[in-house]
Amino acid sequence: MTALLDIDQLLNELETGLRQVLADRGVDQPALIGIRTGGVWLADVLSKRLGLDEPFGELDISFYRDDFSRIGLNPRVKPSSLPFDTEGRDVILIDDVIMSGRTIRAAMNEIFDYGRPASIILATLIDLGARELPVQPDVVGRTLALEAHQRVKLRGPDPLHIELQEAGH
């Protein structure tokens, strides 16, 4: 499993996949947005790898989460920051792990409050399946099927690495 989760290998997959999708869609000036916290670290790395000059955006979805009515407000909310106008832009949205799809739904709702993008490309480092909403990434670093007692987490930002946790019995 450790070999499967080599961060450089997964980043290569993500970069190659993104270049392919951008070429297929004819997008040459994408706006990059990472979802806090892991997605922001990845946006930082991919922005350099893809040679994007424009600063990337950081999204904190705490005000858009659908579990507010169950657990209340995340006390560690930070301001979102989109240093560009999203209106009419082709956006690459990045997160570290996708599972239920609820985070991505919340992130897309938030992005639309800034303006109407021309398109959104979704990239995630790891796809764990177990979707609860019809949201699918366009580019994935690695698809994993975890055992019930296993958890995966991106740690960072320096060095960036993937941690596989085995929950106790």
Partner 1 sequence: MTANDPSPHHLQLTRDGQLRHFLTLDGLSRDLLTDILDTADSFIEVGERTIKKVPLLRGRTVVNLFFESSTRTRSTFELAAKRLSADVLNLDISTSATSKGESLSDTLLNLEAMASDMFVVRHSQSGAPHFIAESVTPGVAIINAGDGRHAHPTQAMLDMLTIRQHKGGFEGLKVAIVGDVLHSRVARSQIRALNVLGVAEVRVIAPGTLLPKDVESLGCTVHYDMAEGMKDLDVVIMLRLQNERMEGALLPSEREFYRLYGLNRDKLALAHPDCIVMHPGPINRGVEIESAVADGPQSVILNQVTNGIAIRMAVMSMAMGGQLAERQRTQTQGGQV
Residue 151 pairs in a beta bridge with: 165
**Per-residue binder mask for partner 1 (CB under 8 A), 67-86, x = binder:** -xxxxxx-xxxxxxx-----
Q: Which of residues 98-137 bind partner 1 (CB under 8 A)?
A: 109, 113-115
50: CB partners within 8 A, 6+ apart: 15, 18, 19, 30, 32
Q: Least distance to partner 1 from the beta carbon of 67, Å? A: 10
Q: Which is nearer to partner 1, 1 or 77 (CB)?
A: 77
Task: Output the six-digit token pair for 142.
Answer: 């690695």
Nearest to 46 by CA among 129, 152, 121: 121
Q: Which of residues 28-67 bind partner 1 (CB under 8 A)?
A: 60, 62-64
Beta-strand pair 161-166/31-35: unpaired
Q: Least distance to partner 1 from the beta carbon of 50, Å? A: 26
Size of the site for partner 1 (CB under 8 A): 21
What span, in angstroms and rounded, lies between the C-alpha atoms of 126 and 116?
27
Residues binding partner 1 (CB under 8 A): 60, 62-64, 68-73, 75-81, 109, 113-115
